[in-house]
Structure 1
Amino acid sequence: MGNAESNAYQNHLSRFLPEEQSDIDGLFDTLSGSSGSAGAKNAKAAKKTVTLAALQAHTREPLPEAMTARLYNGMKSIDLPGKSAGLSEQIAKEQFVIFMSNLLKGNADEKISIIMRMIAKKGGPLKGKQIQEFTEDLITSVVHVLSYRKELKGWSLENTRDSASGVKALASELLSELKLPDGTKPVGSQLLETSFDQSVIEDWVYRVPQISVFLSVVIRQGLHVLHSLPDQTNDILNLVPHCKGIKGRGVVSLFDIPAIIYINSHLPAEMQHKWQLLFSSRLHGESFSQLCAHIVNKGPCIVIIRDLDGFLFGGFASHSWEVKPQFQGDNRCFLFSVFPTLAVYTYTGYNDHLQQPPAVSQRGFYTGCHGSLGSGRCP
């Protein structure tokens, strides 16, 4: 290993704590079939390699095959000094460590070249359709691996809406943040046919934190590495809130797993760790008086409603509901839609009519957060 190569490798390795380095070494040894004493292992580390077949065998159950192939392409894309990236079909130890370092510890600039190759083997420019397929694969993999590892914290694929439509809805919402250098945001079929260069996708990754968080979850939980170590951020630890009050009651949530993840990420940090069921019309009856009895003075809450057309929408009330004529809440209140589109509409400052219970308004819940939803009333 040359000095430049050695220094670059050591710089990436130094980002990890000793116990993290040990975890990564152990995973690479498992994937490459290494064995023997620690001294022999260190001496031969650079000569050992990982194949696509070995990676597929290791992730056959926790990850969909399409995502395993994307991880492999990302590792293979790492350019080592004196070597051409992508020429070898096997992953060297240095490539493996740099891949982990850039995606788990790096900034958007360090991540982007790898992500480009994960989206398409040849890199950019990339069509919107390719980015859409990658984003849907990524979200699908997060749901799959969290379910496989039993990390859904009381939620399940059985007690929530079908996640397949939720995957597409969340992907569409994240892709809506793709914008061209002139600031325009292509939509619909135009987005799918538009070509995006690396700088645009880097800007997107920087502005859409879910991409980096989801990649971290896929790597940690999919490869089963660094998943129990203390450097995980709250974005990962609170990705899915603990679900309380649904188990054993025959209730199927109006939320799907991707929607839960996305809406939870918009809650204040101190409210992201647990969701407690307060009221369900299936359990408590279709009565506003029953609704008020179950939610008044219970703290901040999320309300989700399905209308007669099957649309799903709701809002987050930042303050405990109280039966009084004054409006309540603050700028943390927001509205959201779940179906047919997933979106969050935050406070605009247009007025302070943030939340008011139906027992007072007599017309429904008020959460006057966003002008595009009219008065902000959820009837």
Structure 2
Amino acid sequence: MGNSQSPPAANHRFTSASRAFTPKELEDLKSLFTSLAAQSQSNGQYISSSVFQAYFGLKGPLGGRMFDLATQGRKDDKLTFEDLVITKGTYEKGTKDEIEEFIYQLLDVTNDENLTRSDLDSVLVSMFDHIFHLKGSELESSSHCYMVNTFLNAATFSKDHEGYNDKSMSFEDFKSWCTLVPSVKKFLASLLVPPDPGRSGSQVPKFQHLDNIDSTVLLLRDEYAWHIGGAISQEELEEWKLLYHSALNGLSFNTFLGNVSNHDEPTVLIIKDREGYIFGGYASQPWERHSNFYGDMKSFLFQLYPKASIFRPTGANNNLQWQSRICSVL
């Protein structure tokens, strides 16, 4: 006779999650678990929080929250092989909704089912520390707060909670925010792979310009490049070259056209107006004179300050890119 009791729910989740992996992938996961469990000095039984976070390059509240989710909130500092398979099965192999739900829970670093502006602030601080390797100087700290606020300003908090004065971010608010800041979602969706400079969501384009240019006149700071890069392919994040700057090349539209039209590659245009707003667009096609609109759906507009947002084409029409002798449109 068999056991009449049903196995724990976690076992059902493990069985279901295992089906998302090939035998080779499961074998690799087992090898990884064995290695990290040995480092945890657990006789091969579990991975400790410190070893888990060190291997995946996770720090601060984001690392602690990821380990808490991976261990089903047991608070025992023990990540089992079953935990690892279930977590990666959901986080990496799940449906779009399952992955987004996991990331939404991940952002709730205080684990109070109330995703607040303070939670997002903590996560963004941890992210920027990882991506831009902040050193903690007063100047860098000021720049850091400036960028955190631009990303927070794009977020909506519409969910009421009894007993709380401030509203929190609903799941729908979160999904809307991710469409505006795809770089954030890319980073948060790739945390369970070993960290390296090419990890999705971590790559910052290298900006090429003349050495004698005063960096204070350049609008494209690293954080802006990272934000824009979240909406384009990984191959286009290697190196960006300055083609035109009004402070260096003069306020001539013909000069601008001449400089950007000589390159058969996508371009990024950044503008700062008199009010201090910074915005622009990404043109996926070279700038050429056409009698009609041209381009493709890879083009988009963006805002960099006072809030960071990406605006993709709606598909309502094909009015994406256009250039004539006297003006250009994106």
Give the TM-score of the pair, scaled to structure 2.
0.69
Match for residue 146 of structure 2 among 161, 165, 174: 165
Q: Which residue of 2 aligns with 1:105?
A: 93
CA distance in 2, matches of 1:249, 1:258: 22
Match for residue 263 of structure 1 among 228, 236, 241: 228
In structure 1, runs of 5+ residues without a counterpart are 79-84, 149-157, 181-185, 368-379
Deviation at 1:313, TM superposition (A): 1.6
Distance 1:207 1:265, change over 3 A: closer
- For the 8 Å contact 1:335–1:344, the answer to whether it is kept is yes
Query: Does structure 1 residue 49 correspond to structure 2 residue 46?
Result: yes
Match for residue 119 of structure 1 among 81, 105, 108: 108
Deviation at 1:169, TM superposition (A): 1.9
The residue correspondences of 1:66-81 to structure 2 (distance < 5 A) are 66-76=61-71, 78=72
Deviation at 1:302, TM superposition (A): 1.6
Task: Give secondary structure in 1 for the equivalent of 2:70.
Answer: helix
Distance 1:249 1:33, change over 3 A: farther
Q: Which residue of 1 aligns with 2:21?
A: 16
Distance 1:29 1:247, change over 3 A: farther
Letter paired with 1:307: D
Query: Does structure 1 residue 303 correspond to structure 2 residue 292?
Result: no
Give the TM-score of the pair, scaled to structure 1.
0.61
* Segment of structure 1 superposing worse, 245-254 or 294-303: 245-254
- For the 8 Å contact 1:50–1:91, the answer to whether it is kept is yes
Q: Which residue of 1 aligns with 2:81?
A: 93
Task: Give secondary structure in 2 for the equivalent of 1:304.
Answer: strand
* Structural RMSD (CA): 4.5
Q: Which residue of 2 aligns with 1:218?
A: 191
Identity of aligned residues (%): 19
Deviation at 1:304, TM superposition (A): 0.7
CA distance in 1, matches of 2:48, 2:233: 43
Deviation at 1:11, TM superposition (A): 3.7
1:66-111: CA deviations, max 9, x gaps? 22222222223x2xxxxxx425343333223322221122225534
Query: Does structure 1 residue 277 correspond to structure 2 residue 242?
Result: yes
- For the 8 Å contact 2:303–2:309, the answer to whether it is kept is yes
Query: Does structure 1 residue 145 correspond to structure 2 residue 130?
Result: yes
Letter paired with 1:69: G
Deviation at 1:119, TM superposition (A): 0.8
Q: Which residue of 2 aligns with 1:355?
A: 322
- For the 8 Å contact 2:103–2:188, the answer to whether it is kept is no
CA distance in 1, matches of 2:210, 2:38: 42
Match for residue 255 of structure 2 among 284, 290, 296: 290
- For the 8 Å contact 1:163–1:258, the answer to whether it is kept is no
* Segment of structure 1 superposing worse, 261-270 or 313-322: 261-270
- For the 8 Å contact 1:103–1:212, the answer to whether it is kept is no
- For the 8 Å contact 1:108–1:205, the answer to whether it is kept is no
Query: Does structure 1 residue 194 correspond to structure 2 residue 171?
Result: no
- For the 8 Å contact 1:328–1:355, the answer to whether it is kept is yes
